[in-house]
């Protein structure tokens, strides 16, 4: 605070010894070794997650129900064991988060209702244009659409659809747990929260390159198209990963990123080219622009940490002698 008050206050302030990181105070390994342990742990998690998809040998495509069921089993096992990697990281580095493990991973009751609703609302605002496009192209009106969505038969049909379960439930839950909830606490003490938000999604983006194997295997397109599609998917998933990592840090909850992930999987990448050729393209383009503008305007207010209680990652950094005022307040 003295530095913010001008030169006079700076001259009058009494210098204090720098606060030592808790890992050093506990006699843990040096920061360089801690970073190597963190990066190796994240790589191990990413490889284990992707590797679990290929423990089953099959000549069937990835969308076949039998393949999906087998992958459910292996992915759920790896995801359930992923918190153990965080425990091992804690023992190797000597860093004590100061909060229970489940709380650090975003499983907590404090502020859970705003954490579930506000990030999803923010994401829906971002997709205002695509939602308008979907409503314009839907043959049924709003009342009929709500009846279909709320009908128990519709939900029963979804719950028996393996592809729906994969895209809307299993993938969002397991990917956010592994690539956000487990990786961010390990990376943040090494890089700081800001760089961790941008670094963590790289593991997430690279993990999606495994789709190249199956596309080449079943010759779903030309080699050039497959690699171009993979590069685009890496870029899109990395940007999306930054967003959900930001939500995880700012809310301290896992439920928000999981719901946003599920919603984005349902919507897919915005069909901007189709909007440009749409008969009502000008209202649609206005909806796209309005959605992006409102999203940027509401991003900070709707993710204000005051709405969600204490933030476990910020507590962790305070205990390691670091602070991230921009993300923690």
Catalytic positions, written as ranges = 175, 208
Element (H, E) at 307: none
CA angle 78, 83, 85 (to 5 degrees): 85
Tokens, residue 178: 């592994």
Could you tell me the sign of the dihedral formed by the alpha carbons of 256, 258, 261, 267, in that order? negative
Residues sharing a CB contact under 8 Å with residue 97, sequence separation 6 or more, in sequence order: 90, 104, 185, 312, 315, 316, 319
Q: Judging by beta carbons within 10 Å of its beta carbon (0-12, 13-18, 19+), is residue 232 exposed, middle or buried? A: exposed
Which residue is associated with the tokens 């840090």? 249
Please tell me what DSSP assigns to residue 311: -
Residues 6+ positions from 40 with CB-CB distance below 8 Å: none
* CA dist list (Å): 283 to 269, 279, 288, 289: 19, 10, 9, 10
The answer to whether residues 307 and 122 touch, using CB atoms and an 8 Å cutoff, is no
- Mapping DSSP to helix (H, G, I), strand (E, B) and coil, where does residue 240 land? helix
């Amino acid at each position: 605070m003295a530095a913010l008050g001008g030169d006079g206050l700076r001259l009058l302030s009494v210098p204090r010894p720098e606060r030592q990181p808790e890992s050093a105070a506990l006699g843990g390994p040096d920061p360089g070794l801690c970073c190597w342990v963190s990066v190796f742990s994240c790589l191990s998690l990413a490889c284990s997650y992707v590797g679990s998809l290929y423990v089953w040998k099959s000549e069937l495509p990835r969308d076949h129900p039998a393949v999906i069921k087998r992958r459910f089993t292996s992915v759920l096992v790896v995801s359930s064991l992923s918190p153990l990697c965080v425990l091992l990281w804690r023992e190797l580095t000597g860093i004590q988060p100061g909060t229970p493990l489940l709380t650090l991973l975003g499983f907590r009751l404090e502020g859970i209702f705003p954490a579930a609703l506000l990030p999803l609302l923010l994401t829906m605002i971002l997709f205002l244009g695509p939602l308008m496009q979907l409503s314009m192209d839907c043959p049924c009106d709003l009342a009929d659409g709500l009846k279909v969505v709320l009908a128990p038969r519709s939900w029963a049909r979804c719950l028996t659809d393996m592809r729906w379960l994969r895209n809307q439930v299993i993938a969002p839950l397991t990917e956010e747990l592994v690539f956000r909830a487990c990786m961010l606490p390990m990376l943040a003490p090494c890089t700081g929260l800001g760089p961790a938000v941008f670094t963590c999604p790289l593991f997430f983006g690279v993990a999606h390159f495994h789709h190249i194997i199956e596309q080449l295997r079943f010759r779903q397109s030309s080699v050039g198209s497959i690699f171009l599609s993979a590069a685009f998917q890496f870029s899109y998933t990395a940007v999306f990963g930054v967003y959900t990592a930001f939500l995880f840090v700012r809310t301290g909850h896992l439920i928000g990123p999981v719901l946003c992930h599920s919603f984005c999987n349902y919507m897919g990448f915005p069909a901007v080219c189709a909007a440009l050729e749409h008969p009502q393209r000008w209202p649609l383009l206005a909806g796209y622009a309005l959605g992006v503008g409102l999203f940027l305007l509401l991003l900070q207010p709707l993710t204000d940490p005051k709405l969600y209680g204490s933030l476990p990652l910020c507590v962790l950094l305070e205990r390691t002698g670091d602070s991230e005022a921009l993300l923690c307040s």
